[in-house]
Structures are given as structure tokens and as C-alpha cells.
Amino acid sequence: MAIAPAASLGPATALTCRECGESYDLGPRYACEQCFGPLEISYDFAGITRADIEAGPNNIWRYKGLLPVPSNVESTPNTEPGWTRLVRADQLASALGIQRLWVKDDSGNPTHSFKDRVVAVALAAARELGFKVLAAPSTGNLANAVAAAAARAGIRSAVFVPSDLESQKIMATAVYGGTLVTVDGNYDDVNRLASEIAGEEEDWAFVNVNVRPYYAEGSKTLGYEIAEQLGWRLPDQIVVPVASGSQLTKIDKAFQEFIKLGLVEDKPYKVFGAQATGCSPVSAAFKAGHDVVRPVKPDTIAKSLAIGNPADGPYVLDAVRRTGGAVEDVTDAEVVAGIQLLAQTEGIFGETAGGVTVGVLRKLVESGQLDPAAETVIINSGDGLKTLDAVAAVARPSANIAASYDAFRKAGLA
């Protein structure tokens, strides 16, 4: 791998093993050579103020001083994701008996999921590190984001997805050109294949494998935006969908960084994780009191969360337990009901992961694990148009009539 000498990645200074503390120079590494532990970016943050951030663009690059990206990152072609709306959800709150609730609606990103955030950071780092191809194993949303970002950047993409993926996600990737490979197997099989390819193809940046330390940092921007959009303060509670667990741990990291930088007041907050019962290894570990996660074979309609062997599972357990939150799971029927409830109360059509999060929110309120009097934020990580099959049986026309007023009246639709 030809690494540009002294890769310039803004405030990033090194890679440090989260397990054993071993430190490495910035480069195309992701696992510790001593213990296989995940490598995390270490930073030297210059004094960043609210005014610095507020003067930035209305996308994730307003936080570039807190990300492992070159200081001129916004001048190279990218999808400019982020700064999605934070919706005050009074009707959903009322339906669930909650006093103040917000939905961070990340379906508003360029390819309609939060993955545009992580891919934009991975792309910037991959360029700086000298990679030639942007690649990923994906459950769909990431495939869309990688293919679009690579098209915009004018580089090759190569994405690998399970062959049983929703057709919407396959088409919404293929349309951008690039290489799209469907693999006979589940996501964990695809992930394994990608890890093996990444070990051989030196020019390929698998965003969530060999450049994962950089990529994952992009999810911090969800946490930064929530705090800034609330008026530079933290919520009391947040419910986050859990697949690999990276998004949840990075939102927690973002809140901690804002506290340390003095950008928000230090206060307690609780982090909750949401899974589908058909793929709930982290929820099962939480409930059993374990600090390791036993892999499972996924079977759920929430395919974007169907990771049976979640890389950041142990760190989700750490963050949730440290903050006094919980991890809960809901059935596929509850996922569909969650999608419908969010759509019918707030006009937001979330994908299955959003249905999982709303379903878990309801369950946490009903079980008393979540305080209905405390301010709560939930994440809608993607767009329902990508998982239409999930609601095909329940989202139907009210009636079919002839094109006459008489038919309208007889159908009792007035």
C-alpha cells in the first residue's frame, strides 16, 4: 500500500487499540496486531467553539475539526451528507405517553440513510491513504451510499450484498454503476468474504473493514447534530438501532466529546439500543448480564440490522450499562406496527430499522425502563421506500372505485 507520506487527516494523530492500548501510525489498519482488537482514532483537538461550528456548511463538514479528514475536505467532490432534520414528534409522543420526543430523521441524506455520513468520512480518508477503489460488504443502505459517493468522486466502487436483499436496495445501488455483487449467503458470510478480499486487494478500501476506524467516526456527526439542534444541549435519553453497534457507540462518543470540549453542559443521559428479536444478540447479552455477545443466525425483516456477529456488540453493552440505559428487542410484527405508527403520527416513512426503534421505544415505556417525563430522541436511520415489502400487506388503498361521483358516494368515502 502506497501511503502518502504524513497523511494529513486533520485533528487525527494516531490509531489506538481499544482493547490493549497499543498505538499505531495513521494508515490502512483496522485490527490490532497484538490482540485483534479494534483500532480507534486518537485526536489532538484544537480549541473548537460553537461559533466555529455554526460558521460551517449545512452538512457534516461543519464538524470537520472533530473528524479524521483533511482540512480541505469539502473542496473535493462528495455527497455532502448530514444536517438532517430533528423533528419534534408531539403526536407520536402522545400516542406513547411520552412528554417530549424528537425524531432525528436521517432518511433525509443523499441516498436516504445515515450511511452517507460514514461513507463521506471513509472516502476522504481513503483518498488521503492512497486507495483506488471504494468497496463494502453491505445489507443495502451502505451499498447505496458507497456506489453514489464513488460515482460522485469519479472512482470505482465494488459492493457485496446478500442475494436475498430487498430489490429496492439492489436497484438503488446498481443505478450508480460500479461493481455490484450479490453473494449467496447472509450478511455475516458477505462480511467474511469482504475481510478476505481486503487482505489481498491492496488498493481496495472496504469502508467498514480496512478503513473502519475512519468510517465509523462519521456516525459521531449524528450525536453532534442532535446536541447542536437541541440548542447546544444533550437529551436525557436516546434510542438507537443496533446492527454492528457502531452507530450507538459513536453517538455516545460524540456526546462525551462535546462535554469535554465544553460545547455542552455536562449532564447524565441514558443510551438505549434497539434490535429485532430475529437478530438480537446484543439484547440477549444485555438481558443475560453478559459482557460478550454470542453470535446468532439472523431471521428478521429488519435486514439492515441483520448482523448476527456484531463487531461493536461488547462496546454497546459498555455504553448502555455505563449510562443506565438498556437494550431491548421487538418482533417483526411490532416492527411493522412501529413503521405504521411513525408514519401515521408524524408523516415520516422509516425503513424497518426505524420500525424497530419505534417498537422498542414503545416497549421501553411500557416496561418502565424509559422515563416518559424525560426528553427523548430516537433515530430514524433510513427511508421506508427501500423496504416496501415490509409494509406491502398493510399499506393498501382504502377502496377501488369507478371514475364517477356516484361510485365515490356508494363506497362511503366522504
Partner 1 sequence: MSVSVRIPTILRTYTSGSSEVKAEGATLREVIASLESSYAGIAARILDESGKLRRFVNVYVGDEDVRFVEGLDTATAEGAQVSIIPAVAGG
The interface with partner 1 within residues 218-257 (CB under 8 A) comprises 243-247
Closest separation between CB of residue 193 and partner 1, Å?
A: 10
Exactly one of 22, 52, 80, 189 binds partner 1 (CB under 8 A); that residue is 189
User: Which cell numbers in the block locate residue 378?
Assistant: 430516537
Contact 357, 274 (CB under 8 A): yes
DSSP state of 279: B
Q: Which of 31, 30, 27, 23 is nearest to 8 (CA)?
A: 27
Exactly one of 10, 65, 310, 355 binds partner 1 (CB under 8 A); that residue is 310
Exactly one of 307, 326, 335, 390 binds partner 1 (CB under 8 A); that residue is 307
Q: Which is nearer to partner 1, 39 or 69 (CB)?
A: 39
Q: Which stretch binds partner 1 (CB under 8 A): 199-207, 220-228, 253-261, 370-378?
A: 199-207
Contact 80, 57 (CB under 8 A): yes
Burial (Cβ within 10 Å: 0-12, 13-18, ≥19) of residue 13: middle
Exactly one of 208, 280, 283, 380 binds partner 1 (CB under 8 A); that residue is 208
Q: Which is nearer to partner 1, 246 or 376 (CB)?
A: 246
Question: Per-residue x/- mask for partner 1, residues 276 to 295, rule CB under 8 A?
Answer: ----------------x-xx
Distance CA(47)–CA(367), nearest Å, equals 43
Q: Report angle CA 245, 255, 277 to the nearest 5 degrees.
A: 25
Question: Per-residue x/- mask for partner 1, residues 114 to 153, rule CB under 8 A?
Answer: -----------------------x----------------
| Number of amino acids touching partner 1 (CB under 8 A) | 42
Question: Per-residue x/- mask for partner 1, residues 39 to 78, rule CB under 8 A?
Answer: x---------------------------------------
Q: Which stretch binds partner 1 (CB under 8 A): 42-50, 92-100, 310-318, 401-409?
A: 310-318
Q: Which of 42, 2, 43 is nearest to 23 (CA)?
A: 42
Q: Which is nearer to partner 1, 40 or 371 (CB)?
A: 40
Q: Which stretch binds partner 1 (CB under 8 A): 147-155, 185-193, 230-238, 275-283?
A: 185-193
Please report which helix (H) or strand (E) contains residue 99, including its range. Answer: none
DSSP H helices, 34-131, are 50-54, 90-96, 115-128
Strand duo 86-88 + 101-105: pairing: antiparallel
Q: Report angle CA 264, 266, 267 to the nearest 5 degrees.
A: 115
Sign of CA pseudo-dihedral 262, 264, 265, 266: negative
Closest separation between CB of residue 301 and partner 1, Å?
A: 18
List interacting residues with partner 1 (CB under 8 A).
19, 29-39, 137, 187-189, 191-192, 194-196, 199-200, 206, 208-209, 212, 243-247, 292, 294-295, 297, 307, 309-312, 314
